[in-house]
Structure 1
Amino acid sequence: MRKIIDCHCHVYPEKIAAKAVESIGRFYDIEMDNNGTLDDLKNAGAAAGITHYVVFSVATTPHQVGSINRFIATTVEAHKGLMTGLGTLHPDSPDQKADIDELIALGLKGVKLHPDIQGVAIDDDRCMKMYEICQGKLPMLFHTGDFRYDFSNPDRVKHIMDTFPDLKVIGAHFGGWSIWEKATEELKEYKNFMVDCSSSLYAISPEVAKKLVREYGAERVLFGTDYPMWSPEDELQRFFAMGLTDEENELILHKNAERLFGIE
Structure 2
Amino acid sequence: MVIDFHTHTFPDRIAERALASLSKASRTFPFTDGTNDGLLASMKTSGIDLSVILPIATNPGQVEKINGSAAGINSLFPGKLISVGCMHPMYEDWYDELSRIRDLGLKGIKIHPVYQGVDIDDPLFIRILKRCAELDLFVITHAGKDIGFPGVDHCSVTMIRHAIEETGPFRFILAHMGGWKEWEDVPSLADTGVWLDTAFSTDHIIPADKEEWEQDELAMLDQDTFMHLVKIFTPEKILFGTDSPWSDQKASLDWIRKLPLAENEREMILHENAENILGIH
Query: Alpha-carbon deviation of 1:83?
Result: 2.1
Partner of 1:4: 2
Contact 1:207 1:242 in 2 (8 A): no
Conserved in 1, the CA contact under 8 Å of 2:55 and 2:83?
A: no
Matched to 2:155, the amino acid is S
SS of the counterpart of 2:178?
coil
Q: Match for residue 198 of structure 1?
A: 199
Match of 2:191?
Answer: 189
Write out per-residue CA displacement over residues 118-172 of structure 1, whole angstroms, 9 at most, x where no aligned residue. Answer: 1111111111111111114111101001172220001111011112222111000
Kindly report which structure 2 residues correspond to 1:41-60, keeping only aligned pairs within 5 A, or say none.
41-60=39-58
Listed as ranges, the matches of 1:146-161 within 5 Å are 146=145, 148-161=151-164
The match for 1:19 is 17
**Structure 2 residue 177 is the aligned partner of structure 1 residue 177:** no
Q: Look up the match of 1:231.
A: 248
Q: CA deviation at 1:188?
A: 0.7
- Other structure's SS at 2:247 match: coil
> What corresponds to 2:142 in structure 1?
143
Q: In structure 2, what is the Cα distance between the partners aligned to 1:206 and 1:240?
A: 11
Matched AA of 1:76: N
Aligned equivalents of 2:32, 2:228: Cα separation in 1: 29
- Say which SS state the counterpart of residue 243 (structure 2) adopts: coil
- Matched position secondary structure for 1:76: helix
CA drift of 1:27 comes to 2.6
1:42-85, CA deviations, whole angstroms, 9 ceiling, x for partnerless residues?
01011111011111210111110011111111011111122222
Q: What TM-score results when the alignment is normalised by the length of structure 2?
A: 0.89
Distance in 2 of aligned mates of 1:241 and 1:8: 20
Alignment counterpart, residue 208 of structure 1, candidates 225, 232, 235: 225
Residue number among 220, 238, 243 corresponding to 2:237 in the alignment: 220
Matches of 1:169 and 1:36 in 2, distance apart? 26
Contact 1:9 1:225 in 2 (8 A): yes
Cα displacement string for residues 12-38 of structure 1 (whole angstroms, at most 9, x for unaligned residues):
111011122222222322122222101
Counterparts of 1:128 and 1:70 in 2: how far apart (Å)?
Answer: 24
Alpha-carbon RMSD across the aligned residues, in angstroms, is 1.2
Deviations 1:162-203 (A, max 9, x none): 1222211100011000111311x2111112x11001101132
- SS of the aligned residue for 1:257 comes to helix
Q: Which runs of 5+ in 2 are unaligned?
A: 204-219
Matches of 2:20 and 2:116 in 1, distance apart? Answer: 17
Counterparts of 1:110 and 1:45, CA distance in 2 = 22
What residue is the counterpart of 1:164 in the other structure? 167
Of 19, 28, 31, the match for 1:30 = 28
Residue 181 of structure 1 aligns to a residue in which SS?
A: coil
Q: Which amino acid aligns with 1:186?
A: S
Q: Give yes or no for contact 1:222–1:252 (8 Å, CA) kept in 2.
A: yes
CA distance in 2 between counterparts of 1:53 and 1:12 reads 14
Runs (5+) with no aligned partner, structure 1 = none
Q: List aligned pairs for 1:81-100, cutoff 5 A.
A: 81-100=79-98
Tell me, yes or no, if the aligned pair for 1:181 and 1:212 is still in contact at 8 Å.
no
1:34/1:230 contact within 8 Å kept: no
Query: In structure 1, what is the Cα distance between the partners aligned to 2:106 and 2:242?
Result: 20
| Distance (whole Å) between structure 2 residues aligned to residue 142 and residue 27 of structure 1 | 20
Secondary structure of 1:111's aligned partner: strand
Query: How far apart in 2 are the matches of 1:30 and 1:74?
Result: 30
Q: How many residues in Structure 1 have an aligned counterpart in Structure 2?
A: 260
The alignment partner of 1:174 has SS state of helix
TM superposition shift of 1:243: 2.3
Distance 1:34 1:106 in 2: 28
